[in-house]
Structure 1
């Protein structure tokens, strides 16, 4: 196996071909990080698209409901005024909330409303709060529209375009977070794997061990992303670290076995 293997061949080999996988770390940590970046574009992008689709569908349905007169509100001089407040409109895992009495600095007081949802849009007294999975953003009305007047018909009409932009941001954000989390979690797996090296009386540079871990994480990352798509509110980082660590130790034992066999064969000669 040489350094000319393309990404897809490496991706396939890293899921089942131990002999091929073991050759990749020698080409440097930079190529290992690049490989992880590419698989997070693939897998993180898949998860981001799934999140974005669910968010766009649910919030789009809620947006249509908000066109009813009972949800009428306007924003003037940077302050929200609603005919009925507070208002709460919930989907399966999404929430649109309107409250003219709560401001952005009181957002923590509304945690009981938002914590169980994947997506939240909160129109508060002085600003709007957006949350899609782990992506969060807030802005004051003054910063968005100045002193202009805006009613719910105009705002909700524009919201559909805002959702499209937000979906794109969520996809990119999910890819970035997946990449960073994978690098950090693999670092933890590498630290634990170094203790396995001591027990097995093997020597390996930490850069090589980290590179090996980055390639080895392919299969655990696939399982993690699939499970995160199915169960979006469950933290699976610990499972990923343990799964990667077990796989790395298995490969280290395989490497040691190969070394012993080679030594025995040389002694026979």
Structure 2
């Protein structure tokens, strides 16, 4: 059975998952890499689109709507007396040299950048990364310098995005292999409960296919940007349940 048929069978057939325990370990490892690749598609797609669209919006907005400013001695200063907030295409640009806006005020921002009085902040998917101007105490940065930086960043996107994709894929693959290994260890307990004769390496193969259903479910939820309450617990519950049903499909050893 080829790997794509195995993928389809793993979505609904514990009986077939039980049969996969006899296949080579190399094919199972390849399957885990394929499953991980499918699971990261929404993440890398969303990030790439956010980077491209956000950078275009930032270049246009900062050039036309943000006042002249200078970052010097760890602080942002300008003649602007009120914060400037611009929201366009699900991307926010916030400029505040007055100190009225703090990091905690950016919790409602999903994607964007903020030039605050003491920090430069990047928000991606609701995750906030702050960089203090005090790290550049020996530099004087003006609006023109910042625009040139954005232009340089735009020209490097063709390199930055593929590197990000590779890093995310490698990291996600490592997490997936750890998940499968833990699930296989839980399978040892299920094996004892159901009185089946299984070795850890067989349980590992079965566990690799048992995570298919929850992985695809959460991939779809991420693709449509829908949160799942108690997603961590739900993921493990479904994985353990599928593995348990697969173990139940294996005949009990005959009594001598």
What TM-score comes out, normalization by structure 1 length? 0.70
With 138-147 and 154-163 compared, the bigger mean Cα shift is at 138-147
Structure 1 position 226, deviation (Å):
0.8
Instruction: Classify the secondary structure of the residue corresponding to 1:248.
Output: helix
The alpha-carbon distance between structure 1 residues 134 and 195, as it changes in their structure 2 partners (threshold 3 A), is: farther
Deviations 1:212-249 (A, max 9, x none): 11122122211111101222655733222222112111
Structure 1 position 59, deviation (Å):
5.2
- Alpha-carbon distance in structure 1 between the residues aligned to 2:134 and 2:24: 50
Superposed, 1:143-158 pairs within 5 Å as: 147=139, 149-151=141-143, 152-158=146-152
The alpha-carbon distance between structure 1 residues 154 and 167, as it changes in their structure 2 partners (threshold 3 A), is: same
Task: Write 1 or 2 for the structure with the bigger share of helix.
Answer: 1
Superposed, 1:15-164 pairs within 5 Å as: 15-16=11-12, 18=14, 20-27=16-23, 31-58=27-54, 60-76=56-72, 79-84=75-80, 86-91=83-88, 93-100=90-97, 110-114=103-107, 116-125=108-117, 128-133=120-125, 139=131, 147=139, 149-151=141-143, 152-161=146-155
The alpha-carbon distance between structure 1 residues 179 and 89, as it changes in their structure 2 partners (threshold 3 A), is: farther
With 198-207 and 87-96 compared, the bigger mean Cα shift is at 87-96
CA contact (8 A) 2:68 2:142 kept: no
The alpha-carbon distance between structure 1 residues 161 and 37, as it changes in their structure 2 partners (threshold 3 A), is: same
The alpha-carbon distance between structure 1 residues 191 and 64, as it changes in their structure 2 partners (threshold 3 A), is: same
Deviations 1:91-143 (A, max 9, x none): 565433334466xxxx9x613413x4432423344553334238765555686
The alpha-carbon distance between structure 1 residues 205 and 239, as it changes in their structure 2 partners (threshold 3 A), is: same
- Alpha-carbon distance in structure 2 between the residues aligned to 1:22 and 1:125: 60
Instruction: Classify the secondary structure of the residue corresponding to 1:202.
Output: coil
- Alpha-carbon distance in structure 2 between the residues aligned to 1:72 and 1:209: 63
Instruction: Classify the secondary structure of the residue corresponding to 2:32.
Output: helix
- Alpha-carbon distance in structure 2 between the residues aligned to 1:203 and 1:111: 55
Gaps of 5+ in 1: 265-269
2:215: which partner in 1? 221
Give 1:245's match in structure 2, choosing from 240, 247, 251. 240
Gaps of 5+ in 2: none
Superposed, 1:246-261 pairs within 5 Å as: 246-256=241-251, 259=252
The alpha-carbon distance between structure 1 residues 158 and 120, as it changes in their structure 2 partners (threshold 3 A), is: same
With 218-227 and 230-239 compared, the bigger mean Cα shift is at 230-239
Deviations 1:46-70 (A, max 9, x none): 4311332145335533542333344
- Alpha-carbon distance in structure 2 between the residues aligned to 1:201 and 1:241: 22
CA contact (8 A) 1:59 1:94 kept: no
The alpha-carbon distance between structure 1 residues 202 and 19, as it changes in their structure 2 partners (threshold 3 A), is: closer
